[in-house]
Amino acid sequence: MVPSLRCILLVAILSVPVCASAAANGKQTNAQKADERREDEAARKAQQDVKAAQQAETTAERTYKKVFDELKAAERQLVQAASQLQKVKEDLEEKHSATHGLNDARAASEQARRDYEQAGQPFLQKLAETPKYQQAVEAAKQADAKLARLRAEADSENRKKEMAEAARVKLVPAQMQRETLDAEPSLNAQRAKVTAAEEAVAKTRKKIDQAIDKDSALRAAMEKIEKHKQEIAEARKTVAKEERDLASARQKLVREQQDLQQKILADKRDDNKPNNNNKKKK
């Protein structure tokens, strides 16, 4: 039997999905409700991730500040230790100089030099009367003026050569005086005294340096310097690591914030909410 037209229409009407009827009435279907729940849960999860990222960033900032402050403190301690080392060296210099008679050795050397120069004055006077020496003195004056002018000019290869030549010319008179005294046989005794006195100063200086190097106070101060240097090296490594961790935490926070914003926008654009168009039209 062929079904009537009325029966066919009735079956077609009854076959329309319930969701379409619900949507037409402005109500959520079960599928839409489930979809909305999933989106809400995703948004809550994204909010939690943002909060966790913010806490991680705060922790990273605090840790970075802590290790950075520790690095600066270590650097200040090194400066203080260096100052203490310099003070120790000065104290040891004074102590061992007095012990080994450095001041007396220097005084003897200076006196020997003065005696030598005094004995050589007649020969230097004769030198000063020679045209060659007078020309050298005049050239030295001009060289000194040239050096002053060259120092004010821009640096260049030619300037360096000119300064070197001017400096050489400036020293010629003193060199002529030394050569004149060294060539005078009658000054051999005084010259030997000068040499001996200078050697005595050098030997005394060497003994003082050796004594200072062996002094426990110096070793302790230098060990303290090395200790602070090692601490600074380790602190710098730690600061670099924490700086990288902080940058990573900030990047993660940005990503989580962006993810949350995307989920919020997606939820607003979705059509799983009840249809309120009829209400808006009223």
- Report pLDDT digits (tens) over 33-89: 777 777 778 778 888 988 998 999 999 999 999 999 999 999 999 999 999 999 999
Give backbone dihedrals phi and psi of 234, rounded to 5 degrees, phi first. Answer: -70, -40
What is the residue-averaged pLDDT of the chain? 85
9 pLDDT higher than 60: no
Please tell me whether the overall predicted TM-score, pTM, comes out greater than 0.75 for this model: no
- Rounded Cα distance between 249 and 223, Å, is 39
- Rounded Cα distance between 244 and 237, Å, is 11
- Rounded Cα distance between 249 and 55, Å, is 9
Residues 6+ positions from 24 with CB-CB distance below 8 Å: 275
Q: Where are the beta strands (DSSP E) in the chain?
A: none
C-alpha dihedral (76, 78, 84, 88), degrees to nearest 10: -170
- Report pLDDT digits (tens) over 97-135: 999 999 999 999 999 999 999 999 999 999 999 999 999
- Report pLDDT digits (tens) over 196-230: 999 999 999 999 999 999 999 999 999 999 999 99
